Amino acid sequence: MPMKLDIKKELNSHSDRVKSVDLHPTEPWVLSCLYDGTMHIYDYSTGTVVKSFEVSDQPVRCGVFIPRKRWIVCGCDDMMIRVYNYNTMEKLQAFEAHMDYIRSISVHPSLPLVVTASDDMLIKLWDWEKGWATTMIYEGHGHYVMQVLFNPKDPNTFASASLDHTIKVWSISSPIPNMTLEGHERGVNCIDYYAGPDKPYLCSGGDDQVIKLWDYQTRSCVQTMEYHEHNVSCVSFIHDRPLILSGSEDGSAVLWNSNTYTNEATIQLNKERCWSASHQKGLNRIALGYDFGTVVIKFGRDTPLVSMDSSGKVIYIKQNEASTINLRSIDISSYADGDRLPLVGKELGATENSPQSISHSPNGRFVAVCGDGEYIVYTALAWRNKSFGQGDEVVWDRGGGEYAARRGASDIRVFSNKFKERTSVQTDFMAEGIFGGNLLCVRSSDFVCFFDWESMQLIRRIDVVPTNIYWADSDLVALATDQSLFILQFNREAFETALDQHGGVVGPDGVEEAFQLLHEYSEKVTSGHWIGDCFIYTNSNNQLNCVVGSEVSLLNHMDGPTFILGYLTKDNRILVADKSVSITSYALNLAVVEYKTAIIRNDHEEAAQVLQKVPASEHNKLAKFLEKQGYKEQALDLATDPDYMCELAIGLGKLDLAADIAKKDPSPLKWKSIGELATQEGRLDLAEKCMVEGEDLPGLVSLGMATSNAEILERVAETSVDGKAMNIAFLSSFMLGRVDECLKILISNQRIPEAALFARSYCPSEVARIVEMWKAELRKSGHVRMADLLADPISHAHLFEGYDASLQSEKDNADLMLKMKEVDSDYYPAYKQTLETGIPHENSPDDRKDEAQENGLGTAEPALDPRAELEREDDEDEDYNPGEAGNVDDNPSEEEDDDEEGLDEEEL
């Protein structure tokens, strides 16, 4: 039967004639070399132009990636070779390589060598580590050399195709060809090597409109394939599939079966002549260059043909050859997460069709292989054919070992575990896919239907189009679409109840209550697997994630696309494979999964029992899980990270516990957080302690000012000076009334102008000294005239009107500060009112004394009225002026205005 090829167009760009294309092996890029002298790099996953290069005013006929150097090498009709860095777009080299058009470039897979072919009938070998020196010239063709290509299985040799009707095979160390293959009736345009290990084949296409397959060991033509109506311009072996691609100037591209040499598919894209093709190993994509643009087509699935049973036995298929790997043969737990496991496959046998999917039965005894519209069920151990039949897909029932096969778009057959057909279903819609598990799922282009395996009764229709469906051992199911992931729960009792109520008949949409949507996530799932009630999956961002309840946690980042094989309970490891079936593993403790599952189910007793099996290294992660579920108290008991414990304690309002945690593992951030919350709750003693421990000097200043606590301000002032925090020291000293200390701080910090202004306002007795310091600094920096303009109250007394009064105010303020230190802070409001108005406050100390006597609290010495006390002491001073003594708040701004008025224009 013909092969079933799912061909999809991924990129369809429109441009001038494309003479050469090349796919990047790791990035989703295709390089297009255009006849108009430019090159473009397209991202075929997004359909956008990533980079563009203006190369020449002549056509660019060939260009290739050199990924290990991040280069592009191209050849043009101006006979020049140019080298670009495709990241920086910098042109690294440009040199004349041939005497005519350059047709082809091929890069050695490991050595720094490039071979080029030209219309000058020469082939040249270049070494880029020797400054792009020519290391060998190969002569022998009698016409234009159209293509050269290194042999991937023997890179010391390469082949060339020429319009002289021949193909020659060369050794890089000899200018004489090893052999010449003759058979084409006209010129040969293109060649490609078969990269598989089993066949020494080379294919070619020419102007005689045929494709020939050569055995270069026997130097014979194996097969000639005819279809095209014009020159064959490009050929390519499709790796990992028995296919050969050919492109022609008649506008068609054909996929040939390399085993039967039959035409499997013809691709017509209506872009005129096809000039070039590219395919990379491990990519199920082909790039084609046409007269009117570049096209990238995808065929088949991205997932590798690999399956694993629950015991760890893996079966994979490459090129129709099935092999097995036993993961129990090595100690997986001894390898770090992401390390490639050193596994060696053992050959099982060949498949009888071209496989497109493979899956183990639930018990692991059988393997179903589908391809070419047929399925074959093999025994997993001996690889014997157990059953076969027509079918595009085969899926397994999770419980009874039955399986279903889809034939075409509406015929679904169900087979018993004895491989006998048990029943069939004819759907009234076009079935595009089926999925196995607890229920049989049939997908259309708009919805998916769930059927009971036993009765084939419709259970529920859901209007989503899943790319895959994953069933847990319980009734949980994950539906993965192109954009979202849905977690649902199947309720069989609800379905059976509804069935009984309706006499065994349900509507076209089934029973709505049969499924309950639990969670929805915006994720594009590429593969998935259930471990209990925990769903692990890989996504399009190459992440390995874990879902338990509503929580999604990242397990690991991966270097490229990988696909989950399964989970080994014994080793607590998740197994994943890439496209080349390289297997790696990642740790996931089963006890952790069981604990999370018990919490989700609100079974805290079971969770407590399971917790005993969870290693201590996982406790902190579980604490974060508990916090997300709303169990902050339990999270605090389980947490081990001090920072996280402190955060939880703060969130729960347990400030004393948070302080104890911070004391054991101190950090300024912890103390600041605790201090802020303690301040909000009015626990000023704890707030002060936190600010001291966290060295929060601004906070201490604010606290000292708010509580009138001179001790705090004094401590801050001393600490700040030692720690060079001059602004904090200045503010603390100023609030304490220590203007002399403020002045010292400004001077020590070389803030002389500010010191002079401060002295004029608060300590005028120091003005003359500081002005002299200011003058000295100005003269030292060369500003002599500016220094001469400065005046001081000693040498220019006439400019400082009221200077004597300000000196007296300075003295009075100093005396007042001494008096205020002796007043208790509780009496400050009464003291302040008395000072300002002369009228005793109702809550004066005398009133409080009377209240104390009335309440039987004893007697106390009568307190003096503060203002009277000040007047009594000041009366002893013969120069005392009562009017001035009451003015304890001087107005420095007015004095400064007076000084400014005292300077005439000439002196200014």
pLDDT tens, residue by residue, 507-537:
888 899 999 999 999 999 999 999 988 999 9
Arithmetic mean of pLDDT, 718-747: 79
* pLDDT at 842 > cutoff 70: no
CA distance 686 to 654: 12
Residue 590: partners with Cβ closer than 8 Å, 6 or more residues away: 531, 532, 569, 572
- Nearest alpha carbon to residue 405 among 392, 422, 387, 420: 392
Arithmetic mean of pLDDT, 343-372: 88
Residue showing tokens 């799922």? 441
Q: What is the percent of the chain where pLDDT is above 90? A: 43
User: Where is average pLDDT lowest: 29-33, 43-47, 77-81, 808-812?
Assistant: 808-812
Q: For the CA atoms of 655, 657, 658, 660, what is the dihedral angle to 10 degrees? A: 120
Kindly indicate the confidence band of residue 576, based on its pLDDT and cuts at 50, 70 and 90. very high
CA distance 737 to 762: 10
Q: What is the DSSP code (8-state) at residue 509?
A: T
Provide the pairing of β-strand 18-23 with 123-127: unpaired
Q: How many CB atoms lie within 10 A of CB 333?
A: 12
Kindly indicate the confidence band of residue 830, based on its pLDDT and cuts at 50, 70 and 90. low
* pLDDT at 781 > cutoff 90: no
CA distance 781 to 803: 30
Cα torsion angle, 519, 524, 528, 531, sign: negative
Provide the pairing of β-strand 243-248 with 252-257: antiparallel
Give the three-class secondary structure for 213: strand
- Nearest alpha carbon to residue 892 among 734, 750, 749, 745: 734
Cα torsion angle, 775, 781, 783, 784, sign: positive
* pLDDT at 505 > cutoff 80: no
Q: What is the DSSP code (8-state) at residue 527?
A: E
DSSP H or E run through 670 = helix 668-680
* pLDDT at 884 > cutoff 60: no
What pLDDT shows up at residue 898? 41
What pLDDT shows up at residue 299? 79
Q: How many CB atoms lie within 10 A of CB 838?
A: 12
Arithmetic mean of pLDDT, 874-895: 42
- Nearest alpha carbon to residue 194 among 244, 157, 160, 145: 244
Kindly indicate the confidence band of residue 4, based on its pLDDT and cuts at 50, 70 and 90. low
What pLDDT shows up at residue 81? 96
Q: What is the percent of the chain where pLDDT is above 70? A: 89
- Nearest alpha carbon to residue 36 among 251, 276, 292, 295: 292
Give the three-class secondary structure for 423: strand
Greatest mean pLDDT among 63-67, 611-615, 801-805 lies in: 63-67
CA angle, 528 then 531 then 533, to 5°: 100
> What tokens appear for 723 in the block?
């720690």
CA distance 867 to 823: 12
DSSP H or E run through 375 = strand 374-379
Cβ-contact 273, 233 below 8 angstroms: yes
CA distance 53 to 33: 10
> What tokens appear for 602 in the block?
């609100």
Arithmetic mean of pLDDT, 397-424: 89
Cβ-contact 306, 562 below 8 angstroms: no
Cβ-contact 435, 398 below 8 angstroms: no
Q: How far is CA 196 from CA 30, 193, 318, 323, 641, in A?
A: 24, 9, 10, 16, 53
CA distance 292 to 268: 13
- Nearest alpha carbon to residue 313 among 339, 337, 343: 343
CA angle, 626 then 628 then 632, to 5°: 55
Q: What is the DSSP code (8-state) at residue 340?
A: B
What pLDDT shows up at residue 620? 87
Arithmetic mean of pLDDT, 446-462: 92
- Nearest alpha carbon to residue 754 among 742, 765, 772, 737: 742
Residue 515: partners with Cβ closer than 8 Å, 6 or more residues away: 450, 460, 462, 488, 489, 490, 491
What pLDDT shows up at residue 214? 94
DSSP H or E run through 656 = helix 655-664
Cβ-contact 181, 169 below 8 angstroms: yes
Which amino acid makes up residue 818?
Answer: L
What pLDDT shows up at residue 825? 57
Cα torsion angle, 346, 348, 349, 353, sign: negative
Give the three-class secondary structure for 102: strand
Q: For the CA atoms of 820, 823, 824, 828, what is the dihedral angle to 10 degrees? A: -70
Query: Which of the pair, 384 or 845, is modelled with greater confidence?
Result: 384
* pLDDT at 824 > cutoff 80: no
DSSP H or E run through 378 = strand 374-379
Q: What share of the chain is helix, strand, coil (3-state, %, to 5)?
A: 30, 35, 35
Give the three-class secondary structure for 54: strand
Q: How many CB atoms lie within 10 A of CB 792?
A: 18
Write phi, then psi, for 264 (nearest 5 degrees).
-90, -35
Which alpha helices (DSSP H) does 370-436 contain, by range?
none
Q: Could you give the count of Cα atoms lying within 13 Å of 656 in the half-sphere of its Cβ? A: 0
Kindly indicate the confidence band of residue 818, based on its pLDDT and cuts at 50, 70 and 90. low
Arithmetic mean of pLDDT, 644-665: 86
pLDDT in tens, 299-319: 777 788 899 998 889 999 887
What pLDDT shows up at residue 869? 46
In the chain, the N- to C-terminal Cα span, in Å, equals 108
What pLDDT shows up at residue 863? 42
Query: Which of the pair, 255 or 807, is modelled with greater confidence?
Result: 255
- Nearest alpha carbon to residue 164 among 204, 121, 133: 121
Using the CB atoms, write b or e for 468-500: b if 16+ within 10 Å. Answer: bbbbbeeebbbbbbeeebbbbebbeeebeebbe
Residue 538: partners with Cβ closer than 8 Å, 6 or more residues away: 525, 526, 527, 528, 544, 545, 558, 561, 562, 563, 564, 576
The string of DSSP letters for 260-303 reads: T--EEEEEE-S-S-EEEEE--TT--EEEEEETTEEEEEEES-SS
What pLDDT shows up at residue 908? 32
Give the three-class secondary structure for 529: strand
pLDDT in tens, 104-122: 999 999 999 999 999 999 9
| Mean of the per-residue pLDDT values of the chain | 85
Which amino acid makes up residue 292?
Answer: F
Q: How many CB atoms lie within 10 A of CB 908?
A: 8
Kindly indicate the confidence band of residue 100, based on its pLDDT and cuts at 50, 70 and 90. very high
Cα torsion angle, 52, 58, 59, 65, sign: negative
Using the CB atoms, write b or e for 504-522: b if 16+ within 10 Å. Answer: eebeeebbeebbeeeeebe
* pLDDT at 858 > cutoff 60: no
Q: How far is CA 843 from CA 371, 827, 830, 864, in A?
A: 100, 8, 6, 14
* pLDDT at 868 > cutoff 90: no
* pLDDT at 428 > cutoff 60: yes
pLDDT in tens, 121-179: 999 999 999 999 999 999 999 999 999 999 999 999 999 999 999 999 999 999 999 99
* pLDDT at 103 > cutoff 90: yes
